[in-house]
Amino acid sequence: MIEAWPWLIPAALALAAVVMTALRLSRSAREQRRDTNLALYRQRRRELAGEAEGALQEELQTELQARLLEDEAGESEVPANRRPATRMRVGTAAIFSLVAAVAAVAIYAIIGEPEAPALAKAGILLRATDTAADDPRLPAAQRALAAHLAANPEDADAWFLLGQAQSRQGRMAEAAMAFRHASLVSNNNPTLEMHWLGAAFAAGDGTLDSDARIAGQRILAAHPDHAATLEIMSVDAARRSDFNTAATYLERLASQRRDEEAAALVAEMLRQIRARQDPTRPLVQVTV
């Protein structure tokens, strides 16, 4: 869930907007009437300039100015409670805005992210082992994950779930990219890298791209006897005609305790690789 503190920024902006509006609306009626009188005075002067001439014009303008001054003098007395009322309006607006901001944060803390229910359903669906590739819920799960990741690209778990959804549908290249993102944002988590490696291997029809190959090397550096990674890395090396490297991986695989059928398969692969490898490479005997 996104932390609640970012909501304080728009709440503060809302508070400022409401307070500024209150300040504008609290301008006294005396100031408004003064502006109106001044506008009328200027308009009447313009009219007199076109209607009267000479001494008559001057006399009328003098009378008009006297009326303006009289109106100003009449408005000079301000009720004693005018300023407290203004402060009350501003204070009320500020309190209302703060209450609204606190309420928004409280509601968010209760309901969480609007997309949370859809994400929870996607997680349950994709972590289930019996979800079929044609499950009608998969497209909705992928849309929910994609929308979430657009706003939260550092969510490794969401990337992993997206990769699971795509691999269930046989979209292995896309799944490999999703698992790759999950691995990168989780600081090369070995479990996520194993999913990335498997998807990349399937997408490349038995050949890894350079990034996935490096991920496989990291896995073996942390887990030297990880059988699935040794199998993938040996086949990838053989596909690239790097038979010496393929033999190294197969020898490590053959040294592990395995069932009879798996051991026989590894021994046969190793025999074929040795037949093609560089004859100058030292031969390592493996007994099955």
pLDDT confidence of residue 179: 95
Cβ 263 vs Cβ 288: under 8 Å: yes
Measured over all CA atoms, what is the biggest interatomic distance in the chain, rounded to whole angstroms?
A: 129
Structure-derived torsion over alpha carbons of residues 34, 39, 42, 45, reported in degrees to the nearest 10: -100
Domain positions in the chain are: 5-111, 116-276
As to burial, measured by CB atoms within 10 angstroms (0-12 exposed, 13-18 middle, 19+ buried), residue 40 is: middle
Q: Residue 188: CA atoms inside 13 Å, Cβ hemisphere, count?
A: 11
Please list the pLDDT of the chain residue by residue as tens digits (288 residues).
Answer: 334 444 445 554 555 555 455 545 445 555 666 666 566 656 666 665 555 555 555 655 566 566 656 655 555 554 545 555 555 555 555 555 554 444 444 434 443 444 555 566 666 666 665 566 677 777 888 888 888 899 999 999 889 989 988 888 899 999 999 999 999 999 999 999 999 999 999 999 999 999 999 999 999 999 999 999 999 999 999 999 999 999 999 999 999 987 889 889 999 999 999 998 766 655 444 443
> Which alpha helices (H) appear in the chain, and where do they start and end?
8-25, 29-51, 54-74, 82-111, 116-127, 138-151, 156-168, 172-185, 190-203, 210-222, 227-239, 243-254, 260-276
Provide the 8-state DSSP code for 30. Answer: H
Instruction: Give the C-alpha separation, 159 to 62, whole Å.
Output: 82
pLDDT confidence of residue 252: 94
pLDDT confidence of residue 135: 74
pLDDT confidence of residue 278: 66
Cβ 111 vs Cβ 134: under 8 Å: no
pLDDT confidence of residue 144: 84
Structure-derived torsion over alpha carbons of residues 269, 275, 280, 282, reported in degrees to the nearest 10: 40
| The CATH number of domain 116-276, selected from 1.20.120.350, 1.25.40.10, 3.20.20.80, 1.10.600.10 | 1.25.40.10
pLDDT confidence of residue 259: 86
